[in-house]
Each structure stands twice: as C-alpha cells, then as structure tokens.
Structure 1
Amino acid sequence: MGDRGRNKSWFYVGLIAVAAIWGTNFAISRLAMETFDPILFSFLRFGVAVPFFFLLLKKLEGSIGIPLKAVPGLLGLGLFGITILEITVMYSIKFTTLANASLLNVAPWPIFAAIFAPLFTREPITRRLVIGGAAAMVGVCFVILGGGEGFAVSSQNMLGNLMAFSVSVIGALYNLYSMSLMKQMSALRVSTWTIAFGSLFMLPFTLGSWSKVEWGSLEASHYFSLFYNIIICTVVAFLVWNACMYRIGATRSNFFRYVVPAAAVIAGYLMFGETISLWQLAGAAFMAGGLIWISMEQRTAPPITTATRSTV
C-alpha cells in the first residue's frame, strides 16, 4: 500500500475510534443520569466544552472570528445539529424502547447522507459503497435487535419512533452542511462556533433543572462522566470526526457510525454485566466486514488547503 493509502487508513481509524468513544458514552452517561436531567447534562457537555474549543482555535489558528456571511449557516448548524438533534435523541429514548431508538437513530443516518449528498458534495455512490453499506446495516440491525428488547411495534412507541427516525434525517443534513462550510473554514472553526451557538440555543431548556441537582453531593463517577463527555466525547471526538469526515467524505464516514451501537453493547457488558448474544456477535462480524470493504476503496482525498491543515 502506498503512502496515500496508508495516510487514508488513519482517517478511517479516526472515524472508528470516535464512533467507539460515542458508543461507550451510552454506558458512561448512565452513571450520571439519575442525578442530572438529560437536557441539562447535554448542555453541560457542550456548554463547558465551548471555552476549550475557543482556546484551541486561538492557539492553533491565531484568531477566533468568523466571516459575517458564515454566521447564518453556523447558527443553523448549532440550532439543528446540536440543540434540536440532542433534545430529539433524549426524548426519542423516553417515548420508545432503547432498541427502537438505537436502531432508528443510527441505521438510516448513512442512507440519508448518501441520498442528500448530491445537494452538497460531488461524492459518487459506488458499488463497493452500496455493498459494504448494506452489509454494515445488516450487522448493526443484528447488534441492536439481537439484545433482549428486540424491535417493538406498537402505537405507544410511534411518537418516539418518529422522533428517532427524524434524528437520522437531521443528523445527515447536519454532517453534509458542515462539509460545505469546511471548504471555507477549518473543521476546528466550524466545530467551535457550531457548538457555541448550539449551547446558547439549548440554555433556555435547562432553566428548571439547575436547582434540582444536589451539587455538593456529586461523586467521583459524576465528575468522570462530565470529563468524559466534555473533553473526550465532545472536544476531541468532534475535531477528529470532522477532520476525518472532510478527507473521507460524508457518505462513507457516516457508515462508520454503525460502530456506535456495537461499542455501546461492549461497554454495557464490561461496565454493567449485560449479556452479549450470538446474534450480536454475528452482527458485529457483518458490520466489520462491510466497513472494511468500504475503507478498502481507492478514493482521491480532497486537496489539503490552508483552512484544513491546522486541524489534524
């Protein structure tokens, strides 16, 4: 494999690592959910991360400003990609089963990214991508549905199912529009301002939750959950994902989100003693095969411009 192939493989490693971080976060966040309201916890995750993003932006790129013409786009990304997306995820879990929410949040996301991609990018839909994506989707369905809950179809779950499905649509559009802005600014600058605006929009939804937390009785597990969410799951993960997604392409990158539920299953087994079934193991094998098949495709990376060089 030549230098270009070796360099590209590191971007795939980055995508897998971030997806594993996000999947593990399901278990780590569970440690704090009895203490924090879900929306307040989401706000703390993103809001406390904002100063770290601005410090990194100033140190690595020398300035923190954005062009005036980029403000509407970044405001929209923050509102839909952070505030609305995160709140919808939380309430989809509340109004349907965890299996339904996991499947509908994750599985359709790359499909919508592929469908909407021509509106934002010139990414081709190749036979290898279709085959690998189909295998990965079968695998992630086995991972999620192979657990104890299965997929529940009933009228009482319909609202949550619709909300979970909408997460895939909103998330795909969020990724694709982020890609278009990264042609004008670095991944770090886009991430910084998107999360800043998203946190600002999310703040009003937390106003009734602050007084319910007994701040003086927080334990080490709560602080660890906050650290993991703020530094690892947000600051590090967003920067790595956006930088890798820019090089690999949104369509291919989003199939690597299928690692999220697999990582969540493993974290549940290690941290809470949850069981892993043979169906889930078979699904993980299918998923790994599909993602490896996608990553082996030769694709010329976009030119590295001044706007992106400092982010990786």
Structure 2
Amino acid sequence: MTTRDRLIGLTVVVVWGLNFLAIHAGLEHFPPFFFAALRFAVMAVPVILFVPRPQVPLRWLLLYGTGFGVVQFAFLFLAMATGMPTGLASLVLQSSAPFTVILGVLLLGERMSVRQVAGIGVAVGGMVLIAVDRIGHGATAGLLPMVLTLIAGLGWAFGNLGSRLAKAPNPLHLTLWMCVVPPIPLYLVSLAVEGPGAGVDAVRTIGDHSGLVALVGLAYVVLIGTIAGSGLWTFLMGRYPASTVAPMSLMVPVVGITASWIALGEAPSLLQVTGAAIVIVGCVAGLMAPRTRRSAVTDSSPCPTPTLDPGHASPSAPGQPSPLPPEPGGHRNEPVAARGR
C-alpha cells in the first residue's frame, strides 16, 4: 500500500471514529428511531433519483438493508440513547466481525481456521471483561445498553451476508441503494414506540441550539461519514485485498474512544481499556487469518460504516464501517460505522 493510500485509510478511520460523536449530537435532540429513519431518508431520495439501481437479487438487497440499516442502527441508536457511552459503542459494534464469521459457518457452510476460532475466542473474552465492568455500574443500567449494541453488531453481520451474497458489480451503488430500505420500517417503529408526536416535536424545535447541533451531526453522518468515508473506503477496497485494508478499520474504536474522552469526558475504566485491547487483538487474529478459503470477515469491516460500517468496501462504522460507517464500517461490498459506525 502506498503512503498516499495509507493516509487515505487513516483519514477514513478518523472520519468513522468521529462519526459516533455526530450520532451522539443527533440523539441529544432526536428520538433514536426517528433519527435513524431520518438518517437514511435524507440519503434515499437522491439515491433513487440519481444512482442506478444495482443489478442484484432483491432478496439480498433487502437482507443487506434490513440487517445493516434497520437492525444495526435501530439498536445502536437505542443503546446510545439509553446510556451506552459513545466511545464504548464504537468498540462493541466491532462484534459484527466475529458474528459475521459465525453466521458464515452456520448459514453458508464456510469453515474457520484454527486462528480464526482463537481470535473469536479472544474477542469474546474482551467483550466479557467489558460486560463485567458495565455490570459494576448497575446490572440493568450498565448491561442493557451493551446488549443492545451487541444486537446491533449482529444486525450488521446479517447485512454483511446480504452484501456478500448480492455479488454486486458496483459495491458503492449497492451500499447507496441499501439506504432505500430502512426509512419506512424505522419510521413505523418510531411511530409505534416513540409516538407520532416525538418526531414532530423534534422537527418543530429544530431551530433550538440542540436542534442546530443535531443538524450538524446529521450532516456529518450523511455527507462525511457515509458518502465521503464510504467512497474512499470503496476506492481502497478496489485497489487492495480486503485482508490488507480491513484491519485498518480496527483503529476506529481507538479514535471513537479517544474523541469521546476529549469531547464528552467519557473516561474509560482500566477494565474497559483492557477489554478493548483484547477485543482488537482478537479481531486482528481473525482478520489476518490465512486466506486459504474466502472468509466472511475479510469481506466485512468491523467498523461503520460508512461501515457504509461499521460491510464495511462499507458505511460503515460506527459499521461502520462499513462503505457505511458506523458508522460503523467497511468491507468489500459496503463500508460502519461506524459508520456511525
């Protein structure tokens, strides 16, 4: 990888890591499900108008959009709205990587190398340490947001499978069209859970300070995290093997945790830092496994986004990244976040 392309990769890492701060800003004003619907709706309209629909089976596009878009962001935003620290969310969302490998084995008949099994075991051990620390903050208040974030990571993993099975000739078009799937389901969930007045009140008070900050966060998530981050990630994934590019996304949580520490005062505990290091080591072990067989992880980025995460070439993130971030994140057919990532 050339120096220029390494710098591009590091730029995407920073963009997706900061994506979680933008999500935090949006959630300070918008209800979580409504904000998730809005995040995809503002992209869906121009995508339908200007981006050619990818020539892939509809079922795989729906699986990608439902897993990566609906499940991941509904549960991620709900977790962050109910107390999941912003920086920690960027890390726990990386559970999409081992989830993707496991789903590939269970549903697609893929086989894991010994090194991948060991890496997943190490990553799970790191997650357990973080869970123990969260329980120390109160069984319900501390653990529930983490469980919700893990469900978001599982949704991202199902999205990764849909992205892989689609085999899109243009991965970026697939990632962008994925954004067409989530708005209506997420808005219906918002109506059922948050009530019809929640989103209306948030829009009506958009001129308030928190509303303006939320708009900046929304603009960052869409324009910087998803479009710019995913586009750059897709460019890299098109030039180099996924096993070369994808491990870079493991630095997204480092940026996310550091940024939330500086901007929000979320100082991680020693146990959380230890668990985070163990998780990243485990994910590296899985991602760097010998490519004797095509593995699920090498097609997905643990981050968001864009991710285009957290599938992640994806957004996102956190995803990201995926091209979508997570913003979460990136893999060959998507970057989290995250996107978020």
State the TM-score, normalized to the length of structure 2.
Answer: 0.62
Matched-pair contact (CA < 8 Å) for 1:146–1:277: no
2:25 partner amino acid: L
Matched-pair contact (CA < 8 Å) for 1:52–1:235: no
CA–CA distance in 2 between the matches of 1:146 and 1:103? 18
Higher gyration radius (CA): 1
The alignment partner of 1:209 has SS state of: helix
CA–CA distance in 2 between the matches of 1:107 and 1:132? 13
| Residues 296, 194 of structure 1: alpha-carbon distance in 2 compared, 3 angstrom cutoff | closer
- 1:239 Cα shift? 4.7
- 1:271 Cα shift? 0.8
The match for 2:312 is: none
| Residues 18, 118 of structure 1: alpha-carbon distance in 2 compared, 3 angstrom cutoff | farther
Aligned sequence identity (%): 21
| Residues 140, 105 of structure 1: alpha-carbon distance in 2 compared, 3 angstrom cutoff | closer
- 1:289 Cα shift? 4.5
| Residues 201, 93 of structure 1: alpha-carbon distance in 2 compared, 3 angstrom cutoff | same
- 1:212 Cα shift? 0.8
Aligned residue pairs, count: 286
Deviations 1:145-191, CA, capped at 9 Å, x for gaps: 697x555674687876654443333221111121111x243211211
Correspondence 1:193 to 2:177: yes
Correspondence 1:168 to 2:153: yes
| Residues 146, 56 of structure 1: alpha-carbon distance in 2 compared, 3 angstrom cutoff | farther
Correspondence 1:50 to 2:39: no
Structure 1 residue runs without a partner (length 5+): 1-5, 58-63, 303-308
Matched-pair contact (CA < 8 Å) for 2:67–2:159: yes
Aligned with residue 162 of structure 2, among 168, 173, 177: 177
Matched-pair contact (CA < 8 Å) for 2:72–2:155: yes
1:47 partner amino acid: A
State the TM-score, normalized to the length of structure 1.
Answer: 0.67
2:53 partner amino acid: G
Instruction: Write the mapping of 1:225-240 to structure 2, written as runs, cut at 5 A.
Output: 225-239=217-231
2:177 partner amino acid: W
Aligned with residue 29 of structure 2, among 32, 35, 51: 35
Aligned with residue 256 of structure 2, among 264, 280, 283: 264
CA–CA distance in 2 between the matches of 1:96 and 1:217? 23
CA–CA distance in 2 between the matches of 1:198 and 1:54? 13
Matched-pair contact (CA < 8 Å) for 1:128–1:293: yes
- 1:194 Cα shift? 1.2
CA–CA distance in 2 between the matches of 1:123 and 1:90? 31
CA–CA distance in 1 between the matches of 2:116 and 2:223? 32
1:43 partner amino acid: A
| Residues 292, 156 of structure 1: alpha-carbon distance in 2 compared, 3 angstrom cutoff | closer
The match for 2:53 is: 65
- 1:197 Cα shift? 1.8
| Residues 293, 167 of structure 1: alpha-carbon distance in 2 compared, 3 angstrom cutoff | closer
Matched-pair contact (CA < 8 Å) for 1:88–1:164: yes
Deviations 1:73-121, CA, capped at 9 Å, x for gaps: 323432343123322333345567659x949953643232112214666
| Residues 56, 131 of structure 1: alpha-carbon distance in 2 compared, 3 angstrom cutoff | farther
Matched-pair contact (CA < 8 Å) for 2:230–2:334: no
Aligned with residue 115 of structure 1, among 67, 91, 102: 102
Highest RCO, 1 vs 2 (Cα 8 Å, sep ≥ 6): 1
- 1:210 Cα shift? 3.7
Correspondence 1:129 to 2:130: no
